[in-house]
């Protein structure tokens, strides 16, 4: 399968730059798609090739509140794309059962902020199904999708990034794309992966991120981080929306500070690609990890801990984390809350001058 | 094509409360469309609300929940094993009935021996099924072997009926190298792919929405399979139960919900678990056909499950069976139920209303079972159980490598590193680890 190779091209989206992916032609004809359309494309491919596949959740029948399932019910039938009652624990529990019975289950949780009622089903059941049964049963056919991350006005309950809660749960995979091309490839990998996967979709990028996306199905490997640009002085690690912030920070660091940054998109949070990150830090000696989720117990803590174990003697400065504060996600204070490019640039300055 | 069926629940205004049998009769239709046939019409004196199909009423009156005279208990035999209404006798063959009896008693014998073995420190934990054998055997016999079973933890008789060997039961309880579950779970957390019995997990009621999902997938397969989901009256209080009931009804799943109402959830009696008329009364709230049966009457359980299965598959809708019974044993080996109930209460059920003795009376009345048969069967079944027990005792535990496998389908680099790190550590400190007990 042809690997997706990335070239930089910048699109200005409000006050943030979005860095587009370009893919090689071997993946076939492409079409301009935004992120929600690339998700629809992945789901369309899946329903076409896998007769057992079903998509369900709240409001998916009419197309979904973020339009990710538009047209699928008409195309594939109401027994394959259907609404469920308003109950996240039921959606995931039901999804596990579909998967256990051997069918492909794609469950939508309307916002990642509402995934918690399903936490027991995800952590105690889905993640442990194969292990506890001695591999007699499993729910590898289950994929859970949820809109994720800040959106400008989402406040406490429409902005959360809960990946850290699930990173602590052996048995599931947690995947976060940075754009339409990645989203389709990573989602298709999650669906075909024989383990239960949670796929978080950065909602701020649903409309705003537009790329040329292959129409045919393709996969991007899970548990493989991607080096988006090479550098020699600092390693920047992020995922999802924050990748675009980091790429801009890398440009600013080069221009203003003459600092060469290596930017890594982690892509899969669990199981994560320790090798790529450590290899980079061995080279650069400095690491900055950034995410919107609150800093304490956030996933940057896990990365930081592992890297200092593996690369202690290579470090030129303490590992830096630029994250959300330890508060619920605020409404009107969002511009102050988010780990923006100025905070990241400042952290790089401190590391360089350490 | 909008075939709109009516959904008629009579709002009961008499103080007698819900007349359940009439309710079940009138409940002939299902709403099979999302859209109304006619547009909203304000000239009609009928409510136009999309959310309910009903008439207007101009008297203020609350519907009384009926717990004094609730949903009646369906039975076929009286407590002495006599058939009450011959038309309800399933008229099973002698061979079938003897099999029922032998499975129930074999389960009982295995329970006694494994409970004892926990007391002696041979296994870590055990849960008996005393008093509920009828619910297991009666329902299991009414299913097809390839119907998928989701259980809670007190349904070992279903597995036994389907042919799970004593060796496999014991292997799981001893967590030895023959355990199909590879030694990962506490005793009584059985599972069998061959027998279509999904592995038990400790969290309660989680299996209920899962069963709905499995039934939905099975419906799409068009394979004439049903799914059955067992749970206790305590687990029915969990949110997952509400989720499973609602999903199965709205998504039209071929599923039997089988509630074992045995009077206690550990120490919590039913009057602290719910205030309504048990679990069966909740079914109509979800649009589900429901019945309450005498769980200690194996034929009543059989008849109800058989009919529910037939209709669930034919009509793609869920059924709720509430089997009333009594938990004669303690909740588990970690429980001493004399702390919260009297010995007299337990003795009543053990002596006066037990599924095994009721069936035995039925059999002896027909000359199918004698005292000699009883004596020699007891001796034989005990011997069989003891032999399996001794084999399980001697068997090694699984290789500790199995600590690390099956977390994912594939081994991950991190897990591999951790596995190697454990191996190196154990090599260095081997005298502190019980390696001799484990398979190499």
pLDDT tens digits for B276-298? 999 999 999 999 999 999 999 99
Q: What is the mean pLDDT of chain B?
A: 92
Residues A344 and A257 in one domain: yes
A112 and A184, same domain (yes or no): yes
Q: Which pLDDT does position B66 carry in this prediction?
A: 79
Of B243, B251, B408, which has the smallest distance from its Cβ to A89's Cβ?
Answer: B243
Please check whether residue A349 touches B, CB under 8 A: no
Asked whether residue A18 is domain-assigned, the answer is no
Tell me what pLDDT residue B37 has.
58
CA-nearest residue to A141 within chain B is B409
| Contact with chain B for residue A119, Cβ under 8 A | no
Q: Which of B20, B139, B332, B337 is catalytic?
A: B332
Lookup: tokens for B388: 């399996």
Domain termination site, one of A194, A214, A234: A214
Whether A181 and A325 map to the same domain: the answer is no
Residue A1 counted as domain residue = no
In three-state form (DSSP H/G/I as H, E/B as E, the rest C), the secondary structure along chain A is CCCCCCCCCEEEECCEEEECCCCCHHHCCEEEEEHHHHHHHHHHHHHHHCCCCEEEECCCCCCCCCCCCCCHHHHHCCCCEEECCCCHHHHHHHHHHHHHCCCCEEEECCCHHHCHHHHHHHHHHHHHHHHHCCCCCCCCCEEEEEEECCCCCCHHHCCCCCHHHHHCCCCCEEECCCCHHHHHHHHHHHHHCCCCEEEEEECCHHHHCEEEEECCCCCCCCCCCEEEECCCCEEEEECCCHHHHHHHHHHHHHHHHCCCEEEEECCEEECCCHHHHHHHHHHHCCEEEEEEEECCCCHHHHHHHHHHHHHHHHCCCCCEEEEECCCCCCCCCHHHHCCCHHHHHHHHHHHHCC
Residue at A22 is within a domain: no
Q: Which of A191, A214, A237 is the last residue in one of the domains?
A: A214
Q: Is B331 an annotated catalytic residue?
A: yes
Q: Which residues pair with A32 in a beta bridge?
A: A212
A134 shares its domain with A230: no
Under-50 pLDDT residues of chain A = 1-14
B199 closest CB neighbour out of A90, A99, A133? A133
Q: B interface mutation test: which of A50, A58, A94 has the most B CBs within 10 A?
A: A94
pLDDT digits (tens, 9 = 90+) for A31-58: 999 999 999 999 999 999 999 999 999 9
Same domain for A113 and A242, yes or no, is: no
Q: Is residue A92 part of a domain?
A: yes
B421 is catalytic: no
Residues A303 and A247 in one domain: yes
Name the residues of A annotated as catalytic. Answer: 88, 158
Alpha-carbon distance B361 to B102, whole Å?
14
Query: Using one digit for the tens of pLDDT, what is the confidence trace for A60-117?
Result: 999 999 999 999 999 999 999 999 999 999 999 999 999 999 999 999 999 999 999 9
| Domain containing residue A202 | 27-214
What pLDDT was estimated at residue B432? 98
| Cβ–Cβ under 8 Å, residues B124 and B187 | yes
pTM flag (> 0.90): yes
A–B interface: beta-carbon pairs under 8 A: 157
pLDDT in tens, B165-181: 999 999 999 999 999 99
The count of domains in chain A is 2
Cα–Cα distances in angstroms (integers) from residue B156 to residues A184, B106, B174, B187, B343, in the given order: 45, 11, 16, 11, 25
Q: Looking at the structure, tell me whether residues A177 and A275 fall in a common domain.
A: no
A121, A163: one domain: yes
**CA-based nearest residue to A91, from B213, B241, B235:** B213
Are residues A181 and A35 part of one domain? yes
Q: Model confidence over B399-417: pLDDT tens digits?
A: 999 999 999 999 999 999 9
Per-window interface: B 264-303 vs A, CB < 8 A: none
Contact B213 A170 (CB under 8 A): no
Q: Are residues A209 and A336 in the same domain?
A: no
Point out the domain boundary residue: A214, A246, A269.
A214
Same domain, A103 and A127: yes
Contacts B216 to A, Cβ<8 Å:
54, 94, 97-98
Best mutation target, B209, B229, B288, B416, to test chain A (most A CBs within 10 A): B209
Q: Are residues A234 and A256 in the same domain?
A: yes
Nearest CA to CA, how far is B164 from chain A (Å)?
15
Instruction: Say if residue B142's pLDDT is above 90.
Output: yes
Q: Is B202 a catalytic residue?
A: yes
Q: What is the CATH number of the domain that holds A300?
A: 3.40.50.920
CATH number of the domain to which A175 belongs: 3.40.50.970
pLDDT in tens, B45-67: 899 999 998 999 999 999 998 77
Cβ-Cβ contacts under 8 Å for B352 (sequence gap 6 or more): B79
**Closest-approach residue (CA) in chain B for A119:** B206
Whether A99 contacts chain B with CB within 8 A: yes
pLDDT at B311 over 90: yes
Residues contacting residue B58 through CB under 8 Å, at least 6 positions apart: none
Examine residue A8 and state whether it is found in any structural domain, yes or no. Answer: no
Q: Give A271 to chain B, closest Cα distance, Å.
A: 8
């Amino acid at each position: 399968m042809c690997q997706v190779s990335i070239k930089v091209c910048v699109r200005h989206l409000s006050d943030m730059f979005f860095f587009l992916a370009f893919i090689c032609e071997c993946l076939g004809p492409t079409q301009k798609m935004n992120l929600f359309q690339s998700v629809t494309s992945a789901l369309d491919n899946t329903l076409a090739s896998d007769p057992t596949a079903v998509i369900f959740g709240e409001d998916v029948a009419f197309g979904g509140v973020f339009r990710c399932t538009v047209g699928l019910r008409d195309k594939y039938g109401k027994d394959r794309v259907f609404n469920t009652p308003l109950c996240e624990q039921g959606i995931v529990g039901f999804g596990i059962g579909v998967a256990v019975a051997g069918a492909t289950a794609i469950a939508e949780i309307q916002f990642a902020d509402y995934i918690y009622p399903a936490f027991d089903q995800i952590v105690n059941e889905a993640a442990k199904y194969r292990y506890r049964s001695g591999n007699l049963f499993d729910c590898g056919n289950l994929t859970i999708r949820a809109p994720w991350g800040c959106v400008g006005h989402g406040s406490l309950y429409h902005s959360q990034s809960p990946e850290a809660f699930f990173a602590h749960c052996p048995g599931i995979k947690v995947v976060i794309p940075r754009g339409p091309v990645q989203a389709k490839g990573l989602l298709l990998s999650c669906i075909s992966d024989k383990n239960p996967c949670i796929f978080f979709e950065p909602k701020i990028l649903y409309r705003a991120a537009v790329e040329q996306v292959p129409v045919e199905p393709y996969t991007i490997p899970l548990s493989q981080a991607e080096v988006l640009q090479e550098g020699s002085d600092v390693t920047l690690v992020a995922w999802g929306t924050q990748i675009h912030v980091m790429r801009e920070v890398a440009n600013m660091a080069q221009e203003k500070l003459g600092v060469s940054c290596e930017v890594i998109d982690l892509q899969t949070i669990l199981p994560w690609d320790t090798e790529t990150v450590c290899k980079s830090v061995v080279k650069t000696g400095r690491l900055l990890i950034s995410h919107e989720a609150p800093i304490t117990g956030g996933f940057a803590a896990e990365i930081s801990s592992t890297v200092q174990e593996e690369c202690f003697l290579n470090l030129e400065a303490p590992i830096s984390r630029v994250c959300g504060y330890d508060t619920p996600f605020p409404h009107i204070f969002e511009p102050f809350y988010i780990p923006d490019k100025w905070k990241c640039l400042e952290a790089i300055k401190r590391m360089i001058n350490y | 094509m909008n075939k709109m069926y009516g959904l008629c629940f009579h709002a009961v205004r008499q103080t007698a409360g819900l007349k359940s049998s009439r309710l079940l009769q009138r409940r002939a239709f299902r709403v099979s469309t999302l859209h109304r046939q006619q547009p909203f019409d304000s000239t009609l004196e009928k409510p136009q609300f999309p959310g309910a199909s009903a008439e207007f009423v101009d008297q203020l009156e609350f519907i009384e929940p009926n717990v004094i005279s609730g949903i009646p208990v369906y039975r076929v035999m009286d407590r002495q094993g006599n058939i009450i209404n011959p038309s309800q006798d399933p008229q099973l063959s002698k061979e079938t009935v003897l099999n029922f009896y032998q499975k129930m008693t074999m389960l009982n014998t295995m329970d006694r021996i494994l409970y004892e073995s926990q007391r002696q420190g041979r296994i870590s934990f055990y849960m008996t099924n005393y008093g509920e054998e009828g619910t297991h055997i009666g329902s299991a016999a009414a299913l097809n072997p390839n119907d998928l079973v989701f259980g809670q933890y007190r349904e070992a008789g279903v597995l036994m009926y389907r042919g799970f060997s004593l060796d496999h039961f014991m292997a799981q309880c001893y967590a030895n190298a023959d355990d199909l579950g590879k030694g990962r779970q506490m005793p009584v957390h059985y599972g069998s792919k061959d027998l279509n019995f999904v592995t038990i997990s400790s969290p309660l009621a989680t299996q209920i929405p899962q069963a709905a999902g499995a039934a939905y997938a099975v419906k799409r397969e068009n394979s004439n399979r049903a799914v059955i989901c067992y749970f206790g009256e305590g687990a029915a209080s969990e949110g997952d139960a509400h989720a499973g009931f609602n999903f199965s009804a709205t998504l039209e799943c071929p599923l039997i919900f089988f509630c074992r109402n045995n009077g206690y959830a550990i120490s919590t009696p039913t009057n602290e678990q719910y205030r309504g008329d048990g679990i069966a009364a909740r079914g109509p709230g979800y649009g589900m056909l429901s019945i309450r049966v005498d769980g200690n009457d194996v034929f009543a359980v059989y008849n109800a499950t058989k009919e529910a299965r037939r209709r669930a598959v034919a009509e793609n809708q869920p059924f709720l069976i509430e089997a009333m019974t009594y938990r004669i044993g303690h909740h588990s080996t970690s429980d001493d139920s004399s702390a919260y109930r009297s010995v007299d209460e337990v003795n009543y059920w053990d002596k006066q209303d037990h599924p095994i003795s009721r069936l035995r009376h039925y059999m002896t009345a027909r000359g199918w079972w004698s005292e000699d048969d009883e004596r020699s069967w007891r001796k034989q079944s005990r011997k069989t159980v003891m032999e399996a027990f001794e084999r399980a005792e001697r068997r090694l535990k699984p290789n500790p490598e199995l600590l690390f496998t099956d977390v994912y389908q594939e081994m991950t680099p991190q897990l591999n590193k951790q596995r190697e790190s454990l191996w190196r550590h154990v090599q260095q400190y081997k005298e502190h680890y019980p390696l001799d007990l484990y398979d190499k």
